[in-house]
């Protein structure tokens, strides 16, 4: 396989890109395998709308999920492209990549929601403030927590995601970071406290507005 483009051109939205006639698939995929920018441009013009419409059906009309999955699909095409002689086989291959991208996206969202739920549970158990102070809507609570997590410094964000998202043990974290288990627990406690205070401050500010 030749050197592919670092990233395909996928910034145009589905409503902005009209499907082009299907090119000679053998010539197209051979050029893409060699990293030909014109071949990738032709591929984008010919297949963007088709892949998006396919994913929109698979995603049961969820436009956001389809948009995100189509971008992931194009990235996978760049990584795994190989020559195809027949268009039906090429399309079947693209459809598999697209379905896999959507399924992986859904699994990631599910795992991240579980991460938010577990982490929220820790914050609630540690807080002396009644649970009702966080608000009645879990969706809003999770969204607030997600924003706070993303504002953490990279090392702190990685620590909490590895502990509560990937579910690494304190022992494994300590071995990876080359610090004691007590030091890991101490860091986690500080980060949880920081998140709790930031969340409570933000939610109280909203309540006063």
In this prediction, residue 78 carries a pLDDT of 92
**CATH architecture of residue range(s) 127-208:** Orthogonal Bundle (1.10)
In this prediction, residue 62 carries a pLDDT of 85
Rounded mean pLDDT, 189-194: 86
Least trusted range by pLDDT, from 38-47, 92-101, 124-133: 124-133
Task: Name the pTM for this structure.
Answer: 0.49
The CA angle 108-183-192, to the nearest 5 degrees, is 50
Q: Of 120 and 12, which is predicted with more confidence?
A: 120
Q: Of 126 and 30, which is predicted with more confidence?
A: 30
**CATH architecture of residue range(s) 25-107:** Orthogonal Bundle (1.10)
Q: Of 184 and 145, which is predicted with more confidence?
A: 184
Q: Do domains 25-107 and 127-208 have the same CATH topology?
A: no
Mean pLDDT of the chain: 77
Rounded mean pLDDT, 193-204: 73
SS (H, E, C) the chain: CCCCCCCCCCCCCCCCCCCCCCCCHHHHHHHHHCCCHHHHHHHHHHHHHHHHHHHHHHCCCCHHHHHHHHHHHHHHHHHHCCCCCCHHHHHHHHHHHHHHHHHHHHHHHHHHHHHHHHHHHHHHHHCCCCHHHHCCCHHHHHHHHHHHHHCCCHHHHHHHHHHHCCCCCHHHHHHHHCCCHHHHHHHHHHHHHHHHHHHHHHHHHHHHC
Does the pLDDT of residue 1 top 60, yes or no?
no
Structure tokens at 25: 């698939």
Q: Of 156 and 4, which is predicted with more confidence?
A: 156
Tens digits of residue pLDDT in 37-72: 999 999 999 999 999 999 999 988 888 888 889 998
Domain ranges for the chain, please list them: 25-107, 127-208
Q: Of 52 and 121, which is predicted with more confidence?
A: 52
């Amino acid at each position: 396989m030749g050197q592919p483009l670092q990233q395909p051109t996928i910034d145009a939205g589905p409503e902005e890109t009209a499907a082009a006639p299907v090119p000679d698939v053998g010539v197209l995929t051979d050029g893409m395998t060699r990293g030909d920018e014109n071949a990738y441009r032709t591929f984008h013009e010919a297949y963007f709308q088709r892949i998006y419409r396919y994913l929109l059906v698979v995603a049961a009309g969820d436009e956001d999920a389809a948009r995100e999955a189509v971008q992931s699909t194009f990235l996978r095409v760049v990584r795994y492209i190989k020559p195809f002689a027949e268009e039906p086989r090429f399309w079947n291959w693209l459809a598999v990549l697209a379905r896999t991208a959507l399924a992986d996206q859904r699994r990631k969202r599910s795992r991240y929601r579980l991460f938010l739920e577990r982490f929220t549970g820790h914050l609630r158990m540690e807080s002396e403030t009644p649970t009702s102070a966080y608000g009645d809507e879990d969706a809003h609570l999770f969204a607030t927590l997600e924003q706070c997590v993303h504002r953490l410094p990279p090392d702190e964000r990685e620590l909490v995601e590895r502990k509560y998202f990937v579910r690494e043990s304190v022992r494994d974290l300590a071995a990876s970071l080359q610090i004691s288990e007590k030091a890991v627990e101490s860091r986690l406690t500080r980060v949880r406290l920081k998140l709790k205070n930031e969340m409570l401050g933000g939610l109280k500010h909203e309540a006063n507005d």
